[in-house]
């Protein structure tokens, strides 16, 4: 007789232990009614991931302990059900200068109204966005428990990327590996996970079920897409990505070991996956923080157009407001295209001219600036007027401002502090400009959320990008062509290549040195930028920790 396993692919909220526990309880009851006798929840599902320094508070850990016990009590009447819940446990010794961790990233097996087993994660990631050495100490034991005659070996996320934990579980009698996960999304990560778990299954000679978190949490997104692989590494089942799901896998004991079976959802292509990640990141940041809606400056350019399309797909047109703030340098086609896109998306659209305010600033500063030509100072004044207007609307109506800057601009400092950087959430902060164009074309060819086909006017995509802060301005007056710039940025920033390596790859040395210098001198701007969605393996966020003051040259 096959064991039915449910991977409860849940979207939990950091710190909402009562709400998360209720989500787990409801999921477990629904799975039990469908025949599941083993329910796997994601890593740290009780408290959400990453909980960051909340994990240092004793009251937070105590609330997690209470929530675990509540889940066990609530499910006590479901005979034969085993539920695996991720949670922190333990404490720490600390004073003003020293902290010694005795806290674990744990998972407990609940059944019969009590905690049957608890396992502590052995391998703690401390790279990219991970910082687990700050919060946890390594576990030492193994956990193998039996459900309907199948011996299940429990692992947590990073454990399955190393050989020893799986081999120890097998040595303890495991016939199946169950892995709880909270693995942040970046492009290409879902395929990498499947490949690495297939390697782990083959090396251990055991089938593996991978239960994954879904949802947005500040800058990171978790993509779900839980899956199962056979002992020979072949894919047995895969859940949908970017949404909650009670994903059922059948585990059938045979003379040759346990065989897994389940539905196999198709994996989205790269751009579809990227779009879903951005939409989910916006939806959960706005929803979990309780904002009534969003507003953004719609310029008639490609970046704000893409952000508007993402916002409408995430929230619906009724919760999105676009504001066009023309200056003396705004082209007529920018007005026309911005208004047309707002019409296509069905959002509220307003126009507030900044020309009178710009003239007032110039008049007020005329004596101070006497004898000096106009330069980036006047360009930045325009950007800052727009920032003030958007933040005033935000303060008055409660909607959060979405900024529209991309990764190429953030890298090179082609943005204005307290101007176009003013806002609460940076939607495309981790998209290079070339990716912005590609994704805009993808969205025009696809309507994944039914909010309207072809939302971005073609001219927005085809015209040369411009900040429109001076006459006849285009981005390439200040930056290399984006195809060149983005390739250099990817090599230097995302892959840590040196200037010499990039030049050896065929790039012009002065251009490479200029780009590297721009990255270095604009760290102070990036430190003051709003949080934004991470979609690459190296973003300007938690996984970029460079000093502002420093003399090293790469």
Other CB atoms within 10 A of residue 450 CB: 7
Q: In what order do the strands lie in the sheet with 150-156?
A: 144-147, 150-156, 176-181, 208-212, 227-229, 235-238
DSSP three-state, residue 120 = strand
Give residues with Cβ within 8 angstroms of 214, minimum separation 6. 9, 10, 11, 222, 223, 224, 241, 242, 243, 244, 245, 280
Q: What are phi and psi of 509, to 5 degrees?
A: -60, -50
Give yes or no: 500 in active site: no
Helix crossing, 482-489 with 509-521: angle to 10°? 70
The candidate with the shortest Cα–Cα distance to 81, out of 126, 39, 43, 115, is: 39
Structure tokens at 538: 């190296």
Give yes or no: 121 in active site: yes
Q: Which residue is catalytic, options 6, 64, 74, 121? A: 121
C-alpha span between 30 and 390 (Å, rounded): 45
C-alpha span between 266 and 248 (Å, rounded): 16
* Sign of the alpha-carbon dihedral angle for 107, 110, 115, 116: negative
Q: Which residue is catalytic, options 6, 47, 64, 157? A: 157
**Ranges of H-type helices in 398-528:** 407-412, 433-445, 458-462, 482-489, 499-504, 509-521, 523-527
Q: Are 298 and 341 in contact (CB under 8 A)?
A: yes
DSSP three-state, residue 184 = coil
Q: Is the peptide bond before 375 cis (omega within 30 degrees of 0)?
A: no
Q: How far is CA 549 from CA 87, 521, 546, 552, in A?
A: 39, 9, 9, 10
C-alpha span between 39 and 83 (Å, rounded): 5
How far does CA 343 lie from the centroid of its chain?
29
Q: Which residue is catalytic, options 43, 219, 409, 468? A: 43
State which H helix or E strand residue 152 sits in. Answer: strand 150-156
Give yes or no: 43 in active site: yes
Q: In what order do the strands lie in the sheet with 294-297?
A: 348-351, 320-324, 294-297, 400-403, 425-426
Give residues with Cβ within 8 angstroms of 463, minimum separation 6. 333
Q: CA-based Rg of the chain, rounded to a whole angstrom?
A: 26
Other CB atoms within 10 A of residue 188 CB: 12
Helix crossing, 163-171 with 189-204: angle to 10°? 40
Residue count (the chain): 554
Strand partners, 247: 7
Active site (catalytic) residues: 43, 121, 157
């Amino acid at each position: 007789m096959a064991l039915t396993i449910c991977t409860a692919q849940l979207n939990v909220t950091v710190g909402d232990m009562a709400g998360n526990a209720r989500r787990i309880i409801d999921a477990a009851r629904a799975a039990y009614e469908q025949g599941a006798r083993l329910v796997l929840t994601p890593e740290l599902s009780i408290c959400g991931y990453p909980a960051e320094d909340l994990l240092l508070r004793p009251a937070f850990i105590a609330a997690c302990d209470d929530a675990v016990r509540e889940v066990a009590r609530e499910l006590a009447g479901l005979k034969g059900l085993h539920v695996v819940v991720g949670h922190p446990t333990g404490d720490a010794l600390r004073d003003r200068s020293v902290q010694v961790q005795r806290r674990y990233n744990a998972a407990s097996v609940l059944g019969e109204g009590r905690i049957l087993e608890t396992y502590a994660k052995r391998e703690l990631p401390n790279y990219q966005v991970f910082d687990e050495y700050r919060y946890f100490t390594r576990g030492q034991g193994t956990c193998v428990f039996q459900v309907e005659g199948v011996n299940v070996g429990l692992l947590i996320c990073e454990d399955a990327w190393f050989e020893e934990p799986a081999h120890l579980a097998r040595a303890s009698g495991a016939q199946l590996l169950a892995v709880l996960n909270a693995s942040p999304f970046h492009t290409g990560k879902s395929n990498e996970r499947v490949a690495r778990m297939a390697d782990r299954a083959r090396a251990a000679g055991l089938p593996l079920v991978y239960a994954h978190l879904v949802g947005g949490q500040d800058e990171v997104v978790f993509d779900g897409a839980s899956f199962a692989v056979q002992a020979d590494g072949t894919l047995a089942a895969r859940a949908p990505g970017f949404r909650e799901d009670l994903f059922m896998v059948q585990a059938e004991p045979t003379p040759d070991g346990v065989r897994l079976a389940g539905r196999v959802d198709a994996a989205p292509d790269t751009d579809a996956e990227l779009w879903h990640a951005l939409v989910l990141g916006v939806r959960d940041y706005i929803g979990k923080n309780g904002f009534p809606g969003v507003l953004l400056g719609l310029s008639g350019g490609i970046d704000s157009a893409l952000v508007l399309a993402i916002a409408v797909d995430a929230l619906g047109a009724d919760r999105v407001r676009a504001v066009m703030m023309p200056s003396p340098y705004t082209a007529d086609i920018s007005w026309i295209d911005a208004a047309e896109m707002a019409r296509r998306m069905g959002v509220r659209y307003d126009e507030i001219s900044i020309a009178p305010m710009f003239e007032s600033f110039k008049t007020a500063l005329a004596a101070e600036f006497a004898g000096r030509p106009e330069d980036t100072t006047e360009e930045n004044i325009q950007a800052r007027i727009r920032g003030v207007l958007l933040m005033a609307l935000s303060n008055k109506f409660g909607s959060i401002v979405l900024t529209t800057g991309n990764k190429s601009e953030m890298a090179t400092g082609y943005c204005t502090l307290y101007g176009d950087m003013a806002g609460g959430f940076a939607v495309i902060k981790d998209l290079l400009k070339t990716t912005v164009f590609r994704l805009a074309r993808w969205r025009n060819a696809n309507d994944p959320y039914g909010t309207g086909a072809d939302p971005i006017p073609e001219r927005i995509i085809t015209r040369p990008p411009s900040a429109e802060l001076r006459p006849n301005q285009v981005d390439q007056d200040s930056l290399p062509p984006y195809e060149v710039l983005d390739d250099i940025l990817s090599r230097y920033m995302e892959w840590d290549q040196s200037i010499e390596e990039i030049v050896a790859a065929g790039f012009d040395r002065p251009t490479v040195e200029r780009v590297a210098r721009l990255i270095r001198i604009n760290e102070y701007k990036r430190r003051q930028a709003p949080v934004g969605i991470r979609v690459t393996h190296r973003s300007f966020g938690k996984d970029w920790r460079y000093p502002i003051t420093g003399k090293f040259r790469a």
